[in-house]
Structure 1
Amino acid sequence: MGSKEMTKAERRALYRKRKLEKKRMQFMAVSAIVVMIGLVAVFYVLWDAQRKSVTPNPGVDNNPPPPSTNRIAVIETSMGTIRVELYENKMPRTTRNFINLAESGFYDGLIFHRVIDDFMIQGGGFKPGLVPPDTTPAEIPFEQSDVKHEDGTISMARRGDSKDSASSQFFICDGPQPHLDGEYAAFGKVISGMDVVRAIASVPTHSVGDYDDVPIEDVLIYRITITSP
């Protein structure tokens, strides 16, 4: 059979039909996009309203304090490393004295010369053999604060009953010692290495002259380094 050529009018009609079909498809695509945007907007509004309506848990601190800016004392010993946060914000004079001694190298090579299990470990006053250090640091006035002698608290030792006689010797509590609160200048707390503190506190001891609770084998303080938090 022979094919019949399209008339000019038929070609125009076909062109208009295709043009209308194209516009219809474009309209449907735009409509779909608008619907999707609307659904996303509705979902966000509902989610935001639910988030704002959640009641804070009274058992959770919803406004935690800012990170501490207190520096850290890294005490390297022959039995391990102890890291202590120094409460510079509460005990500025006492921590400044300790930091100055540490940074000068004063504590390098000294020992923990007095240790008592379930009480404390004390150092910063003698070399091995209970030999005094080459220099004698100045005594500092007692600094009062609300820092308690809890497990791991670091505090200044003193001479006799004088609160103003602390200089370089310090002790770290092995267990809470509330009877020391207000009597000794507590100035920080162990943040890691309590296993080292307990190990030192439990070493065998003996008496040497006028000194009791002296470790039979020296527990050395290799160095104390002050670092940022």
Structure 2
Amino acid sequence: MKNNKLLMIIVLFVLVLSLSSCTKARSSLEQMAAPKVGEEIAIIKTDFGNIKMRLFPDVAPKAVENFKTLAQEGYFNGKTFYRVKKGELIMAVNSEEEGYSQSIYGAPFEDEFNENYGHFKGAVSMANRGPDTNQSTFFIVNGSSIDDGIIEVMRELGDDEGFSDELIDTYEKIGGYYEYDFKHTVFGQIFEGMDVVEELVNVELNEMQAPVEDIIIKEIEIVPYEE
């Protein structure tokens, strides 16, 4: 038990070090707010149904512009969710098959971290191969509940170390995968269609954690939100 708590403290200490260099934002969690009328959203269309997500251009401008432009150019049409890690994520666009050079900038682009935007369940984030290697691959977090010991350590560290009550409460309430914070760029949040995501993570997988039958992205639309 002591060893487990020590490991949790070490992991969170690494996150605290990362917080010292990240961008600070609003005190409340805008990430979890409902979209406003007229706000640009993305609709990911699949055979299983539609997934609707907010975009955060003020927090991750390069990631959002890259995603929007690729979507509007039809780049994602016919691509697949090719990797599923139950209790963690579903990942789209297999860079191994296409080469790792698909961004509108013609090269990998930098990470964009923010202490008030976490990898809560439903977060949409950039996959990478290390710092500042973002391209077109992205994932949706389907993390499970956070261990009580982690929540306890977060509360002990507190707001002075970047763990606000709102952030901790959200992780405690809906779960997620906090280990990705300050390693991957959060640029969106699912606000409708998590039931579709749940279906996707429960498809039959092979030994490589890939769906036995392709999960195809028909299209990603960028549209203004309407109630």
Q: In the TM superposition, what are the counterparts of 1:68-217 in structure 2 within 5 Å?
A: 70-125=39-94, 131-132=97-98, 136-137=102-103, 138-146=107-115, 147-159=117-129, 162-175=130-143, 176-207=176-207, 212-217=208-213
The structure richer in strand per residue is 1
Match of 2:168 in 1: none
**Runs of 4+ in structure 1 displaced over 2 angstroms?**
64-70, 130-133, 135-138
Superposed CA offset, 1:96-131 (max 9, x none): 1111111111100000000122111000236xxx84
- Return 217-226 or 66-75, whichever deviates more: 66-75
Structure number with larger C-alpha Rg: 1
Q: Deviations over 1:59-112 (max 9, x none)?
A: xxxxx9994764111000121110000111221111111111111111000000
Identity %: 31
Aligned to 2:219: 223
Distance in 1 (alpha carbons) for counterparts of 2:64 and 2:34: 22
Partner of 1:31 in structure 2?
Answer: none
Q: Which amino acid in 2 is paired with 1:172?
A: I
Structure 2 equivalent of residue 59 of structure 1: none
Structure 1 counterpart SS, 2:217:
strand
Q: 1:32-43 counterparts in 2 under 5 A?
A: none
Question: TM-score, normalised on structure 1?
Answer: 0.63
Q: Given the superposition, is the C-alpha separation of residues 92 and 69 from structure 1 closer, same or farther in structure 2, using an over 3 Å criterion? A: farther
Q: Is the 8 A contact 2:79 2:217 kept in 1?
A: yes
Structure 1 SS opposite 2:98? coil
Query: Whole-Å Cα distance in 2 between the matches of residues 149 and 179 of structure 1?
Result: 8
Matched-pair contact (CA < 8 Å) for 1:125–1:168: no
Whether contact under 8 Å (2:59, 2:112) holds in the other structure is no
Q: Secondary structure, in 3 states, of the residue corresponding to 1:90? A: coil
Q: Secondary structure at the match of 1:81?
A: strand
- Contact 1:71/1:88 (CA < 8 Å) preserved in 2? no
Aligned-CA RMSD value: 2.4
Q: Figure out how many residues of one structure are paired with residues of the other and give that number.
A: 157
TM alignment of 1:12-91, pairs within 5 A: 67=36, 70-91=39-60
For structure 1, the 5+ residue unaligned runs are 1-63
2 CA distance for matches of 1:125 and 1:167? 11
Distance 1:87 1:70, change over 3 A: farther
Q: How many Å separate the matches in 2 of 1:79 and 1:65?
A: 23
Q: 1:67 to 1:74 in 2, by over 3 A?
A: closer
- CA–CA distance in structure 1, aligned partners of residues 93 and 126 of structure 2: 10
For structure 2, the 5+ residue unaligned runs are: 1-32, 144-175
The one-letter code sitting in structure 2 at the alignment partner of 1:165 is T
Classify the secondary structure of the residue corresponding to 2:132: helix
Matched letter for residue 142 of structure 1: D
